[in-house]
Amino acid sequence: MSTSIEGLWQLQASRRLRIIKLMLMILVGLLLLLICLWFWVTQPLWSRPQPVAKVSVEPARLEAHVRALSTDFSPRDEHHPENLDRAAAYIRAEFEAARALVRDQTYDLHGRTYRNVIAQFGPETTSRIIVGAHYDTAGPLPGADDNASGVAGLIELANLLGAQSLPIRVELVAFTLEEPPYFGTAHMGSAIHAASLRRQGVEVRCMFSLEMIGYFSDAPQSQMFPVPLLGMFYPSKGNFIAVVGRFGDGLLVRRIKSAMRDATPLPVHSINAPSFVPGVDFSDQLNYWNAGYNGVMITDTAFFRNQNYHSSQDTADKLDYDRMAMVVAGVYVAVMTLAEES
């Protein structure tokens, strides 16, 4: 009898041991999966940034552009094409002052004419880099961060590129009609531009969308996330700039993030995620992805940080122009890095 009981105990102990081993294997597997997911989504960089030549971007000039766009040319939504045209003329004049080859890309919609403003630098090559930012707003709002900040960055990027000898064509585009009700439609300025490149057989090395680059906060818990799990991977303070790419564009995002980190002390984080993650495709890079091109969004993360998003409080006095200048310097170094790749 005692032998039978002892055998039963041994059998039960063996079963418990197998269950424990199975649970440990599952736990280790989940941990490895989480590590792999963290690595692919965030594209971590462990090496220290290498010093590069100083890039001079004047915060005061950025502020002047933001104030002009958000006050002098407001409102600049689809119902005020006259103000959109005035804003476009301002951008065109700044591009011309930077010694760019400038042209308008116009199209008609509901009896009105809308325009992208295109500035080209460097030689006429089949391969090119596109950097864009939309200059319209969501309704009759000032739109300082969304997206006068991106356009101001585009203008100052033009001044940097105009002083360089480039190996390939770099095209800067100020887009119209990014905001609702046209977001996600073929009437977006970026959709018009991307489609025209595809028709011409242009090879796009990368498209950079500058989407809200001026709002930063050092307050605890000032950064929110579309998925709570992402809070494990990223800072809780909104004091960084983000490079956003598709899930399969990890190597491209890694090169861009590395170049931007080398340019300035500003923290740069990145995410590679599928489009069902809210916010990943909420800007003009969407239309280049749809056209079969590579692209990234450079952003302060919009409404995940800036509570003034799409409101009358999105004004020029809320932005951090010193850190915004570092964003522009970082984008410039990233553009030059990609342009010089063979």
Q: Are residues 30 and 155 in the same domain?
A: no
Q: Are residues 32 and 106 in the same domain?
A: no
- pLDDT > 80? residue 2: no
User: Within the chain, what is the greatest distance between any pair of CA atoms?
Assistant: 99
Q: Are residues 76 and 36 in the same domain?
A: no
Q: Are residues 67 and 32 in the same domain?
A: no
Q: What is the pLDDT of residues 157-174, one digit of tens each?
A: 999 999 999 999 999 999
pLDDT for the residue 36 = 64
Q: Are residues 80 and 151 in the same domain?
A: yes
Q: Please, what is the end-to-end C-alpha distance for the chain in angstroms? A: 81
Q: Are residues 138 and 284 in the same domain?
A: yes
Residue at 47 is within a domain: no
Q: Are residues 107 and 190 in the same domain?
A: yes
- For the chain, how many structural domains are there in total? 2
For 320, the domain range is 59-339
Q: Among 147-156, 186-195, 267-276, which is the least confidently predicted range?
A: 267-276
Residue at 48 is within a domain: no
Burial 43-80 (b: 16+ CB within 10 A, else e): beeeeeeeeeeebebebebbbebbbbbbeebbbbbbeb
Q: CA geometry: angle at 178 spanning 74 and 318, to 5°?
A: 50
Residue at 54 is within a domain: no
pLDDT for the residue 41 = 67
Q: What is the Cα–Cα distance from 179 to 138, expressed in whole angstroms?
A: 5
Residues 6+ apart with CB under 8 A from 330: 241, 259, 260, 261, 263, 264, 266, 268
Q: Are residues 35 and 69 in the same domain?
A: no
Q: What is the Cα–Cα distance from 184 to 69, expressed in whole angstroms?
A: 24
Q: Are residues 134 and 226 in the same domain?
A: yes
> For residue 64, what pLDDT band results from cuts at 50, 70 and 90?
very high
In contact, 177 and 187? CB cutoff 8 Å: yes
Q: What is the Cα–Cα distance from 224 to 23, expressed in whole angstroms?
A: 33
Q: Are residues 98 and 176 in the same domain?
A: yes
Residue at 53 is within a domain: no
Supply the pTM of this predicted model: 0.90
Alpha-carbon dihedral sign for residues 304, 41, 45, 31: positive
In contact, 330 and 257? CB cutoff 8 Å: no
Q: Are residues 16 and 85 in the same domain?
A: no
